[in-house]
């Protein structure tokens, strides 16, 4: 898969978008639609909000597909853009699966490895017929975090 990275700047901050890392959580455009609007081309408008609002919203991106750097910092570094990597995030959902965002390798009991990217849902209820992955059984058996 080709590694694509796109940049959008308002002069003060540069938004970095890595579409191959995006898990489409929609947090960006639900949180700041004046900047992140998938119905427009380009879908990122760096002029749509203040730098502080943009930075704050990007920090909510669960996959790391959106990141940023301050242009003044890059100038101080002689024009060298920082190396941006996506982190993995683990999040239990209420009464549901354990979500792992990012690029991971799942190794089964036989040692077979499966490469996953974007988001992977792991069973927490114990009832999945597709373990270790969630198959939605938690809803049918009324799994609760409190039980």
* pLDDT per position as a tens digit, 91-122: 898 999 998 877 777 888 898 888 776 678 89
Q: Where in the chain is the domain with CATH 3.30.70.20?
A: 6-76
Strand ranges (DSSP E) for the chain? 6-9, 13-17, 66-70, 89-92, 98-101, 104-107, 113-116, 119-122
* pLDDT per position as a tens digit, 61-96: 877 788 898 988 888 877 777 666 556 788 898 999
Pairing of the two strands 119-122 and 98-101: antiparallel
Give pLDDT, residue 77: 76
What is the pTM (predicted TM-score) of this model? 0.58
Give yes or no for a contact between 33 and 18, defined as CB atoms under 8 angstroms apart: no
Give the largest Cα separation in the chain, rounded.
Answer: 58
Query: At the top level of CATH, which class does the domain 6-76 belong to?
Result: alpha beta
Q: Mean pLDDT throughout 1-24? A: 85
């Amino acid at each position: 898969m080709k590694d694509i990275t796109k940049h959008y700047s308002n002069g003060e901050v540069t938004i970095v978008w890595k579409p191959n890392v995006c898990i489409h959580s929609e947090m960006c455009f639900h949180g700041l639609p004046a900047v992140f609007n998938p119905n427009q081309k380009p879908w990122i408008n760096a002029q749509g909000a203040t730098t502080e609002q943009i930075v704050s919203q990007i920090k909510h991106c669960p996959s790391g597909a959106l990141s940023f750097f301050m242009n003044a910092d890059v100038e101080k570094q002689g024009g060298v853009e920082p190396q941006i990597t996506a982190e993995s995030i683990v999040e239990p959902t209420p009464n549901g699966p354990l979500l792992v965002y990012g690029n991971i390798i799942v190794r089964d009991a036989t040692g077979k490895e499966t490469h996953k990217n974007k988001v992977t849902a792991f069973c927490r209820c114990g009832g999945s017929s597709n373990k270790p992955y969630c198959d939605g059984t938690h809803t049918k058996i009324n799994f609760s975090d409190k039980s």
